[in-house]
């Protein structure tokens, strides 16, 4: 699966003459498996044959659990990591359960990468701070973007703030990454909705942390990924703090089938989210669509 980055931030597929086409999953071998929490597992995948592919943080693949089905799963590798491609999967139904059950040596199908990216480049930090807000498994699609941002801070100037929320301490994912990003200069805040006795961290929704962060809203950007209600409330809170809605990006999820803009299953208003999303600016039509879903 070769690919080239376009100026739009998308990645275009390049396939050879004997390529079976974009609807055929490419077999990948599971070379690593890490249980993150009770229902979340990270799979590290390498192509069985052929070259490694390129991706941009925020893009997703369609992963096939052979004999069960296909599901959209974000690439959660960072671009500094050479080697297997990581995908972090939450078991919510038949396909994701089968993917989570995969063990080292198993074969998983991969189509992609598809969709838009977080658009993380030097210009994002050059204009100001970046506030990243994740809810639950929403940290997975953001992992590569955060890693890019943290390792460009010195060059470009802006600060990186990460607010990560989970239902309870046992549901916090990527604790090692959060600690590493903190060591590398990012300001990290972790909060849980509810906590057992003995938890010394913050308890409350991610939105409750935003007033405690010392970013400069007039120049900041924000990246948000999590359940839709969390993204809506977080985006509004950031706009209330003074961030321009056009500098806030959200990642929207819908039922993905083809991933190619062919079938229409992922349509939301004027957008085909597999093609125009999943990452979109929280401005205009997107802000309106998210608000309308409240009625």
Return the number of the residue (205 or 263) whose C-beta is nearest ligand FES. 263
CA distance 119 to 114: 14
| Residue 124 interaction partner, one of ligand FAD, ligand FES, none, beta carbon < 5-8 Å per kind | none
199 vs 262, beta carbon nearer ligand FES = 262
* 264: partner contacted, choices ligand FAD, ligand FES, none (Cβ within 5-8 A by kind): ligand FES
Burial status of residue 239 (CB atoms within 10 A of its CB: 0-12, 13-18, 19 or more): middle
Q: Which helix (H) or strand (E) holds 61?
A: strand 60-65
Site string for ligand FAD, 127-166 (x = CB under 6 A): ----------x--xx-------------------------
Task: Give the binding range for ligand FAD (CB under 6 A) out of 119-127, 154-162, 211-219, 248-256.
Answer: 248-256
> Counting contacts by CB under 6 A, is residue 280 touching ligand FES?
no
Residue 254: closest CA among 284, 286, 219, 217? 286
Rounded Cα–Cα distance for residues 171 and 236 (Å) = 25
The tokens describing 50, both together, are 């052929």
Rg of the chain over all Cα atoms, to the nearest angstrom: 18
* CA proximity to 153, closest of 120, 176, 179: 120
Question: Per-residue string for binding with ligand FES, 251-270, x by CB under 6 A?
Answer: -----xxxx-xxxxxx----
Residues 33-92 that bind ligand FAD (CB under 6 A): 60, 69, 71-74, 88-90, 92
**What residues from 203 to 262 belong to the interface with ligand FES (CB under 6 A)?**
256-259, 261-262
């Amino acid at each position: 699966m070769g690919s080239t980055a376009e100026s739009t931030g998308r990645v275009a597929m390049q396939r050879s003459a004997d390529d079976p086409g974009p609807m055929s999953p490419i077999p990948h071998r599971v070379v690593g498996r890490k249980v993150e929490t009770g229902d979340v597992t990270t799979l590290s995948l390498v192509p069985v044959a052929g070259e490694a592919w390129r991706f941009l943080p925020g893009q997703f693949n369609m992963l096939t659990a052979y004999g069960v089905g296909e599901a959209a799963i974000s690439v959660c590798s960072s671009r500094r990591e050479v080697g297997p491609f990581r995908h972090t999967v939450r078991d919510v139904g038949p396909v994701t359960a089968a993917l989570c059950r995969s063990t080292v040596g198993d074969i998983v199908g991969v189509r992609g990468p598809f969709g838009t990216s977080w658009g993380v480049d030097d210009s994002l930090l050059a204009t100001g701070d970046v506030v990243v807000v994740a809810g639950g498994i929403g940290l997975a699609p953001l992992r590569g973007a955060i890693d890019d941002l943290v390792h460009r801070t010195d060059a470009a100037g802006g600060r990186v703030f990460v607010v990560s929320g989970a239902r309870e301490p046992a549901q916090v994912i990527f604790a090692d990454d959060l600690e590493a990003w903190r060591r590398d200069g990012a300001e990290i805040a972790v909060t849980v909705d509810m906590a057992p006795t003995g938890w010394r961290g913050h308890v409350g929704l991610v939105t409750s942390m935003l007033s405690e962060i010392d970013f400069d809203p007039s120049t900041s950007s924000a990246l948000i990924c999590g359940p839709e209600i969390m993204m809506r409330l977080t985006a509004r809170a950031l706009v209330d703090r003074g961030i321009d809605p056009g500098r806030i990006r959200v990642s929207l999820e819908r039922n993905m089938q083809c991933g190619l803009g062919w079938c229409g299953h992922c349509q939301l208003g004027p957008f085909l989210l597999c093609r125009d999303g999943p990452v979109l600016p929280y401005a205009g039509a997107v802000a309106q669509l998210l608000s309308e879903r409240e009625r």
